[in-house]
């Protein structure tokens, strides 16, 4: 379900029950205050923390790749390649764990499509990397700017780097990088591993810059070096027509100048624009288009075969948003979940059950195989179904909150 808030009778019943139970003169005002406290917990401890991790890890990935490229493939060890691959997966995890709050900078500045477009256009990559002049342009510090401006999103972002680092679900071998690229799209073209590393380094630099921008656009206290890099790139890092960051805007809800008119509507945005949206994306697009369209070209992360892990991290992103802390396995006291609990929202158990069931269903898929290999399996349909049910529960909770 994408169309939010179109509700069934069950919700009306929940609303009635909750109202009756909590009817008292101070209920609404204290609810507002409790939501405010939950949002004040959520913004720094979920959004700022996740984007901070992402920016830091993407920079480490860039530096590892730059070092490897400078060292040269003949001197590179398998351990060093494995370390780069591990760092890639760490940064990838942070990105997937941020997808329950794609609203704001990631969407408004087009960062999401810039760094996470798939599928990778491998034949165009082959053409680009077999062009000596283009590879030279990608080399060195200026290579990042060249990649950002000239390569196009279909060759940028996580999946371009993933292609260089992984094949068939495994880390690339040092031997493979010492030879020429043998993917069939490169037939008739001579592209060396060294050239591939130059490309991956430039793309990682562009990825790093965009992750810095995400952090700086939300968190007014993001590290100075990241802010300076954004200034150097001359990219906007505040909301259009304002000098406020996205974080300041959300924390300033219910005040003049914020796009969030009330605290209840802020909570609804976290639940719907954030959590529900990624539920829909996972169930109906990331999984659904491959499963229903019967076309593996719709599959994300096919080279590392980490699609199911991506989806699990997406659902965990919802969990952290609801629990009030990145990485949380239980709710912190000021959290959206506890607001719902403290005001006796009757749908809470259902929502929590569906959250857990979604992760379990994805883990069951993961155990059976990689998404690219089992995308038409019944287990995929089961996972899609339960994630859609979680989506419905998130919308019901949002509707309940705005009606209090």
Partner 1 sequence: MQIKGFGIALLGLAVAVGCTDGNSGLNESANNREPDAKYVGQAVGNFSADEWYPGGQLGTTDNVTAGCYEDETPSVEKQGLMTAFNLGQAAFERKYTTYTAPFKGLGPAYVRSSCLDCHPGYGHGKRQSQYRAEFGNGYLLVIYHPVDNQNSDDGPYVSEVTGMPQTKATYPFLPPIDEEQIDIKWLSVNEMPSGLPMKFPDGEEYSLIYPEVNIPESAFNTSPTPYQTGAVAFRLESTIGIIGSGLLDAIPQDSIREQYRSEARFVDLNPAFWNKETNDFAAGAWYGYEKLGEGSYADGTPASTDTKLLKRFTYAMTRASLQDGAGANAIWNITNVSRSDRPYLYTTKAWAKAMSENAQVIAAIKADQSSPYYADGTDEGIKEAVLNLLDPSTNQFDNQWHSFSPEMSDDQYYNFMVWHRGLSIPRARNLNRAEVQKGKEVFNRIGCASCHRAKWTTGDDNYWKPKVYADKELPQYKNQTIYPYTDMIQHRLYMINGIHGSWCRTTPLWGRGLSRENTGAEDRLHDNRARNVIEAIMWHGYSKDSDAYKCTEKFYNLTKEERDAVVEFINSI
Is 25 an interacting residue with respect to partner 1 (CB under 8 A)?
Answer: yes
Determine phi and psi for 221, rounding to 5 degrees: -105, 25
Q: Residue 9 or residue 225: which is nearer to partner 1 going by CB? A: 9
Structure-token pair, residue 324:
């009030």
Q: Is 52 exposed, middle or buried (0-12, 13-18, 19+ CB in 10 A)?
A: buried
Is 239 an interacting residue with respect to partner 1 (CB under 8 A)?
Answer: yes
User: Residue 284 Cβ, how far from partner 1 at the closest point, in Å?
Assistant: 5
User: Residue 277 Cβ, how far from partner 1 at the closest point, in Å?
Assistant: 5
Helix (H, G, I), strand (E, B) or coil at 167: strand
Cβ-contact 111, 235 below 8 angstroms? no
Is 150 an interacting residue with respect to partner 1 (CB under 8 A)?
Answer: no
Is 399 an interacting residue with respect to partner 1 (CB under 8 A)?
Answer: yes
Is 173 an interacting residue with respect to partner 1 (CB under 8 A)?
Answer: no
Is 37 an interacting residue with respect to partner 1 (CB under 8 A)?
Answer: no
Is 403 an interacting residue with respect to partner 1 (CB under 8 A)?
Answer: yes
Other C-beta atoms lying within 10 Å of the C-beta of residue 180: 14
Is 269 an interacting residue with respect to partner 1 (CB under 8 A)?
Answer: yes
Residues near 337 by beta carbon (within 8 Å), at least 6 away in sequence = 322, 323, 324, 331, 348, 352
Q: Residue 171 or residue 274: which is nearer to partner 1 going by CB? A: 274
Q: Residue 159 or residue 305: which is nearer to partner 1 going by CB? A: 159
Is 225 an interacting residue with respect to partner 1 (CB under 8 A)?
Answer: no
Cβ-contact 222, 52 below 8 angstroms? yes
Structure-token pair, residue 303:
């080279």
Q: What is the residue-wise DSSP string for 235-255?
A: ---S-TTSS--HHHHHHTTTS
Is 259 an interacting residue with respect to partner 1 (CB under 8 A)?
Answer: yes
Q: How far is CA 297 from the centre of its chain?
A: 20
Partners of residue 167 on adjacent β-strands: 170
User: Residue 202 Cβ, how far from partner 1 at the closest point, in Å?
Assistant: 18
Is 272 an interacting residue with respect to partner 1 (CB under 8 A)?
Answer: yes
Structure-token pair, residue 290:
């491959």
Is 30 an interacting residue with respect to partner 1 (CB under 8 A)?
Answer: no
Question: What residues from 188 to 217 belong to the interface with partner 1 (CB under 8 A)?
Answer: 188
Rg of the chain over Cα atoms, rounded to whole angstroms, equals 22
Q: Residue 72 or residue 123: which is nearer to partner 1 going by CB? A: 123
Q: Residue 188 or residue 329: which is nearer to partner 1 going by CB? A: 188
Q: Which stretch binds partner 1 (CB under 8 A): 45-53, 218-226, 260-268, 344-352?
A: 260-268
Residues near 78 by beta carbon (within 8 Å), at least 6 away in sequence = 173, 174
Is 19 an interacting residue with respect to partner 1 (CB under 8 A)?
Answer: yes
The one among 73, 104, 193, 204 contacting partner 1 by CB under 8 A: 104
User: Residue 32 Cβ, how far from partner 1 at the closest point, in Å?
Assistant: 6
The one among 44, 119, 223, 252 contacting partner 1 by CB under 8 A: 119
Q: Residue 168 or residue 261: which is nearer to partner 1 going by CB? A: 261
Q: Is the dihedral of CA 302, 304, 308, 314 positive or negative?
A: negative
Kindly state the DSSP code that residue 170 receives in the 8-state scheme.
E
Q: Which stretch binds partner 1 (CB under 8 A): 43-51, 61-69, 148-156, 317-325?
A: 148-156
Q: Which stretch binds partner 1 (CB under 8 A): 45-53, 149-157, 347-355, 366-374?
A: 149-157
Residue 403: closest CA among 303, 264, 307: 264
Other C-beta atoms lying within 10 Å of the C-beta of residue 237: 23
Structure-token pair, residue 5:
């808030």
Residue 340: closest CA among 284, 402, 273, 275: 402
User: Residue 124 Cβ, how far from partner 1 at the closest point, in Å?
Assistant: 6
Q: Residue 33 or residue 77: which is nearer to partner 1 going by CB? A: 33
Question: What residues from 287 to 346 belong to the interface with partner 1 (CB under 8 A)?
Answer: 288-289, 292-293, 295, 297-298
Kindly state the DSSP code that residue 276 receives in the 8-state scheme.
I
The one among 166, 199, 263, 303 contacting partner 1 by CB under 8 A: 263
Is 114 an interacting residue with respect to partner 1 (CB under 8 A)?
Answer: yes
Is 124 an interacting residue with respect to partner 1 (CB under 8 A)?
Answer: yes
């Amino acid at each position: 379900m994408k169309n939010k808030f179109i509700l069934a009778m069950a919700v009306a019943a929940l609303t009635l029950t909750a109202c009756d139970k909590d009817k008292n003169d101070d209920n609404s005002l204290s609810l507002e205050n409790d939501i405010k406290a939950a949002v004040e917990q959520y913004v720094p401890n979920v959004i700022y923390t996740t984007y901070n991790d992402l920016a830091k890890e993407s920079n480490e990935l860039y530096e590892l790749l730059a070092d490897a490229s400078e060292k040269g493939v003949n001197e590179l060890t398998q351990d060093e390649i494995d370390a780069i691959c591990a760092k890639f997966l760490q940064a990838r995890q942070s990105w997937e764990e941020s997808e329950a709050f794609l609203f704001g900078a990631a969407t408004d500045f087009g960062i999401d499509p810039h760094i996470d477009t798939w599928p990778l256009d491998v034949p165009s990559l082959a053409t680009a990397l077999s062009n000596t002049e283009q590879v030279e342009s990608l080399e060195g510090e200026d290579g990042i700017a060249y990649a950002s401006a000239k390569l196009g999103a279909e060759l940028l972002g996580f999946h371009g780097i993933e292609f260089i680092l992984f094949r068939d679900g495994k880390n690339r071998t040092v031997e493979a990088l010492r030879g020429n690229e043998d993917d069939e799209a490169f037939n008739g073209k001579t592209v060396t591993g060294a050239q591939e590393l130059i490309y991956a380094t430039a793309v990682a630099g562009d990825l790093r810059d965009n992750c810095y921008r995400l952090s700086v656009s939300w968190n007014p206290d993001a590290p100075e070096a990241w802010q300076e890099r954004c200034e150097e790139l001359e990219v906007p890092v505040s909301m259009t027509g304002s000098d406020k960051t996205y974080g300041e805007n959300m924390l300033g809800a219910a005040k003049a100048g914020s796009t969030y008119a009330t605290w209840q509507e802020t909570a609804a945005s976290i639940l719907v624009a954030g959590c529900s949206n990624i539920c829909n994306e996972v169930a109906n697009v990331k999984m659904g288009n491959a499963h229903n369209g019967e076309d593996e070209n719709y599959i994300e992360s096919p080279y590392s075969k980490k699609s199911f892990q991506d989806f699990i991290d997406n659902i965990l992103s919802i969990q952290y948003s609801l629990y009030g802390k990145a990485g949380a396995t239980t709710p912190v006291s000021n959290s959206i979940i506890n607001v719902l609990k403290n005001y006796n929202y009757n749908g809470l158990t259902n929502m929590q059950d569906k959250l857990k069931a979604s992760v379990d269903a994805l883990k069951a898929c993961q155990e059976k195989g990689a998404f690219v290999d089992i995308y038409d399996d019944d287990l995929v349909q089961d996972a899609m179904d339960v994630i859609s049910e979680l989506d419905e529960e998130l919308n019901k909770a949002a509707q309940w909150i705005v009606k209090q």
